[in-house]
Structure 1
C-alpha cells in the first residue's frame, strides 16, 4: 500500500504527497482533521469530493472513483463486509486526531433536557450496558484495535463512571 511509506500519517502529508489522489469526505471530522480540510478549502477543492454520507464515500472508494476517505477505524471493516469485498479497504490512523474522541449527548437547557441527560447517565452508569456497547463495537474491530482501546476505555470508565470501578 502506497500510504504505508508515509507513516506516521497526517492528512496534510497525504494531500501534499499524493496530489493525483481524490479524497472523499462526508462531513467534518473533529479537532486536527477539520483544520486541514478547511485550510485546503475542502468544499471547492477538486481533489476533495464532498459526499452525503460515509456509505457513498466507501462505494466510491470500492469502485475507484476516489482513492481515500476519512472515518472511524471500524468503517473499513464494516463497509468491506457490506459491499462484499473483504480486505479491499484498510484503515491507517492519522496522527492529526487524538487517540479517541468524546461523543456527547446534547439537549436544550430546560427541564426536559435535564431529564434526558439524567436518563442517559443512569443507563450508562451500568457495567452490563457498557459491556454490551463494547461488545457491539468490538465486533467491527480487529483484535489489535480492540487491544488498543483497552486503556482508553479503562480511563473513560474511571473518569466518568468511578462507581463502576469499586
Structure 2
C-alpha cells in the first residue's frame, strides 16, 4: 500500500514538473531573477525597486502582447540553465565578457561606471599609501590583504588579475548563498576580510539599509582603480543561445529605445548608480 502511494506521489510530481516545463516552453520571455540587491531586491524598504527589477517591469510594459514569466533562482543556477539551452533570460549581464560568451545578448540597456575596491576607511588609507590613488589593483592583488567575492561573480577586464594573483593564493575566499553580496559587505565592514571588488552601488545599498550604528561595523569606502579608471561596462539582457532565445532578444531589441528612455528605469538607475552615472550614446552595435 505504502509503495503504491509513493509511486502515485512520484507520478504526480513528475506530471507537475512536466506541466511546468511545458508551460515554460510557451512563454515568449522567461526571466531568471536572483537575490542580489540592488540588482534585484526582494524585501525591505526597497522591495522590487532594484534597477534590474525595474528593467524587467519596463520590458513587460513595452511588450504587452508577449507572455512573460519570472523564475526566482540563484545566479549560478540561472547561468547553468542558460548554458544548457533551457529557455531563460538574465536581465542584467555584462555584454561582451568572455565569461558570458555562450549567451545571446540584447542591444545595450544601460552602462555601469567601473568597478572599484570596497574596503573600510582605515584600510583605505593604508591601500592608497601603498598602492596609489587611483589604486593599482594589480599591486593590491599581490599583497597579503584578504579578498573575497560572491560565487559566480565576475569583473570584466579585471578578472584576469583575480585569476592570476588572488585565486591561487591563500588570501582568496568565495561567499555563497542567498544574500551573498550583502553578507560580503558586512564581512568587509566587520573586518573579517580586508576588501572586495565591485560597483559602488553595492556599498550604497548596504549603507542605506544596514544599521550603520552597529559597533562591529566600520565605515566603508569606495576606491577607484587605475587599471579601469576610464572604462564603462555595458549592461544588456542575456538569453539562452538557441532559437527561443534569439526570438526573445529580437522582441526586446524592437523596443530597446523605449526601454532606455523609460522614466521609471532611468530613475532607478539614478537611485543606485548615481545621477552622475555615465551616459554614452548608444548605437546598433551596443
Q: TM-score range by the shorter chain?
A: 0.7 to 0.9
Please state if 1:36 is matched with 2:165: no
Q: Secondary structure at the match of 2:173?
A: strand
Q: Corresponding residue for 1:89? A: 220
Please state if 1:126 is matched with 2:258: yes
TM-score by length of structure 2 reads 0.46
Larger-Rg structure: 2
Name whichever structure is richer in helix by fraction.
1
Structure 1: give runs of 5+ residues left out of the alignment: 162-166
Q: Corresponding residue for 2:190? A: 63
Query: 5-14 vs 100-109, which deviates more?
Result: 100-109
Could you list the per-position Cα deviations for residues 5-52 of structure 1 after superposition, in whole angstroms to 9, with x for gaps in the alignment?
Answer: 321212112234x52x21111222111x1111111151x422122112
Change (3 A) 1:41 1:66: closer
Q: Which has the higher contact order (CA 8 A, sep 6+)?
A: 2
Structure 2: give runs of 5+ residues left out of the alignment: 1-123
Q: Secondary structure at the match of 1:90?
A: strand
Across the aligned residues of Structure 1 and Structure 2, the Cα RMSD in angstroms comes to 2.7
Name whichever structure is richer in strand by fraction.
2
Q: Corresponding residue for 2:75? A: none
Q: Which of 230, 249, 252 lines up with 1:117 in the alignment?
A: 249
Query: 82-91 vs 21-30, which deviates more?
Result: 82-91
Report the Cα distance in structure 2 between the residues aligned to 1:101 and 1:109, rounded to whole angstroms: 22
